[in-house]
Amino acid sequence: MGGVCLATSGPGATNLVTGIATAYMDSIPIVAITCNVGVPLLGKDSFQEIDIAGVTMPITKYSYIVKDVTKLAETIRKAFRIAKTGRPGGPVLIDIPKDVTAKVTEYEKEYPGGVYDREVIHSEEEDLKKAVEMIKEAQRPYIFVGGGAVLSEASKELYEFAQKVDAPVTDSLMGGKGAFPGTDERYTGMLGMHGTKASNFGVSECDLLIVTGARFSDRVTGNTATFAKDAKILQIDIDPAEMDKNVMIDLGLVGDIKAVLKKINEHLPQQSHPEWMNKIKDYKAKYPLTYHKDVLTGPFAVEEIYRQTNGEAIITTEVGQHQMWAAQYYKYTKPRTLLTSGGLGTMGYGLGAAIGAKTGCPDKIVVNIAGDGCFRMNMNEIATAVRHDVPIIQVVVNNHVLGMVRQWQDLFYDERYSATVLRDAVDYVKLAEAMGAVGLRATTQEEFKECFAKALTCGKPVLIDCMIDCDDKVWPMVAPGAPISEAFDEQDLKAKEN
């Protein structure tokens, strides 16, 4: 069991809010403990007083202020229980007034009891049978994997399921990555705004979409009216609130994904869809991800990181273009190897995430892939990595602009680059050195290769300033709100111009 986050009252507590919201959106279990001013000072606008339990109420599974020391131990135990049960993950916050931390009461040790069975199925047997029939009737099934498959640790069952259904597999950014191996021939890449054409076209043409633990974010569906328009939708999720939330479904199975898939695998005879699988294979061949091969780019850096780490690293990201490149070009084969803020889209998430990952898994190579804009959000944590001797690798994919916002300005705002240009005197190599880390700079592909090789062996926190062009874009793209079947790339744009 990992660590816990502590902060003091007022600004200490409010500085946790973005992190708590990030965990809430991505269903990640965390326990935040804050202290407040003493009970007699509460509600008097005292120095550094804020009602953090109130502030975090809509973004936690449970938030509580403990004013009675006799209730403290049971509240903490309850918080851990809530963080771990039900929809797996999610933040809880306990606020403790200062005088309560000094008051004395009887304490008795109590180890967490009641080992709960996570593999539960809430749906009726009848619905499971219906699901099996739906799969048997389908001619063009597609499987869409979301973060819930990671949280439920359903990789093995999912793999067997995909073989049995004989379907292609796509995933979402959030945790779906790695639940199904990115190197498998069934895998067609991510779905949605920056998904592959194969996945976007395939899902648009399928007649059954089987969804495991995803919530149909707008970044995935594009225009919901046309999303998977020819398909019946079979959704498997632990949380019934996810059913019919963003997309109307045909059948929902409520339960732990691992348990549900196990059950279906037992009852489903082997299916075979050679024609459909060939069609998807052709899409994959016809629409590969492409980038400019002759210069240093974000995709090149990500592929080089993949090569040099043999796909075994834990990758963390910030939010934006580099995040999409990290999702597209690194092949994730195990769950929890891409840690990213999928739901809230929190710039500044990645560096802290990398330090946390390296602390939890000191034997793994941990790389935070960041843009220069995002890196600035929490770059002071390089000092933390150095102080606590946590040798993470920080790659700053530096285009001197807020690349993703600029990409939208390019495509949808006639190149009016309002407030997205960061050209200034900041020298990231010197910055790293100033905080006691190693700073390296790469301006060519060769230099990046050398820098990364050096970073792998130096045993200290390292920053690589990876210089790329400000006009590089993330392709393919679905315009916001457009049907995903209208995914386009650079070639399509050029063809349109001619």
Question: Which residues in 40-79 contact another protein (CB under 8 A)?
Answer: 47-48, 69, 72-73, 76-77
Among 283, 287, 306, 349, binds another protein (CB under 8 A): 349
Separation of alpha carbons 135 and 141, rounded Å: 7
Counting residues that bind another protein (by CB under 8 A) gives 86
Q: How far is the CB of 416 from another protein (least distance, A)?
A: 31
Residue 9 CB-half CA count within 13 A = 19
Q: Between 251 and 393, whose beta carbon lies closer to another protein?
A: 393
Task: Assess 6 for contact with another protein (CB under 8 A).
Answer: yes
Q: Between 200 and 346, whose beta carbon lies closer to another protein?
A: 346
Q: How far is the CB of 483 from another protein (least distance, A)?
A: 34
Task: Assess 22 for contact with another protein (CB under 8 A).
Answer: yes
Two structure tokens written together for 46: 């005292």
Task: Assess 220 for contact with another protein (CB under 8 A).
Answer: no
**Which of positions 287-346 make contact with another protein (CB under 8 A)?**
314, 316, 334-336, 339, 346
Q: How far is the CB of 436 from another protein (least distance, A)?
A: 13
Q: Between 100 and 131, whose beta carbon lies closer to another protein?
A: 100
CB-neighbour burial class of residue 109 (10 A; exposed 0-12, middle 13-18, buried 19+): exposed
- How many beta carbons lie within 10 A of that of residue 218, not counting itself? 13
DSSP track, 213-265: S----HHHHBSTTTTTTT-EEEEEES-GGGTTSSS--SEEEEB-HHHHHHHHH
Separation of alpha carbons 110 and 91, rounded Å: 22
Among 32, 208, 231, 393, binds another protein (CB under 8 A): 32
DSSP label at 269?
Answer: P
Q: How far is the CB of 43 from another protein (least distance, A)?
A: 15
Q: Between 77 and 281, whose beta carbon lies closer to another protein?
A: 77
DSSP track, 328-394: HHS---STTSEE---SS--TTHHHHHHHHHHHH-TTS-EEEEEEHHHHHHHTTHHHHHHHTT---EE
Q: Between 178 and 298, whose beta carbon lies closer to another protein?
A: 178
Task: Assess 262 for contact with another protein (CB under 8 A).
Answer: no
Q: How far is the CB of 368 from another protein (least distance, A)?
A: 10
Q: How far is the CB of 161 from another protein (least distance, A)?
A: 20
The 370-399 site mask, x for binding another protein (CB under 8 A), equals --------x-xx-xx--xx-----------
Candidates 182-190, 359-367, 395-403, 440-448; binding stretch for another protein (CB under 8 A)? 359-367
At what angle are helices 197-205 and 274-286 packed, to 10 degrees? Answer: 150
* The residue to which tokens 């945790």 are assigned: 175
Task: Assess 36 for contact with another protein (CB under 8 A).
Answer: yes
Among 115, 285, 419, 495, binds another protein (CB under 8 A): 115
Residue 302 and residue 291 in contact, taking contact as beta carbons nearer than 8 Å: no
Task: Assess 354 for contact with another protein (CB under 8 A).
Answer: yes
**Which of positions 450-489 make contact with another protein (CB under 8 A)?**
none
- How many beta carbons lie within 10 A of that of residue 495, not counting itself? 9
Instruction: Name which of 288, 274, 269 is nearest 167 in CA terms.
Output: 274
Separation of alpha carbons 231 and 472, rounded Å: 35
Among 25, 100, 313, 422, binds another protein (CB under 8 A): 100
Task: Assess 359 for contact with another protein (CB under 8 A).
Answer: yes
Separation of alpha carbons 386 and 143, rounded Å: 43
Separation of alpha carbons 473 and 77, rounded Å: 48
**Strands 141-145 and 169-171, how do they pair?**
parallel
**Which of positions 122-161 make contact with another protein (CB under 8 A)?**
153
Q: Between 51 and 490, whose beta carbon lies closer to another protein?
A: 51
Residue 364 and residue 357 in contact, taking contact as beta carbons nearer than 8 Å: yes
Q: Between 81 and 130, whose beta carbon lies closer to another protein?
A: 81
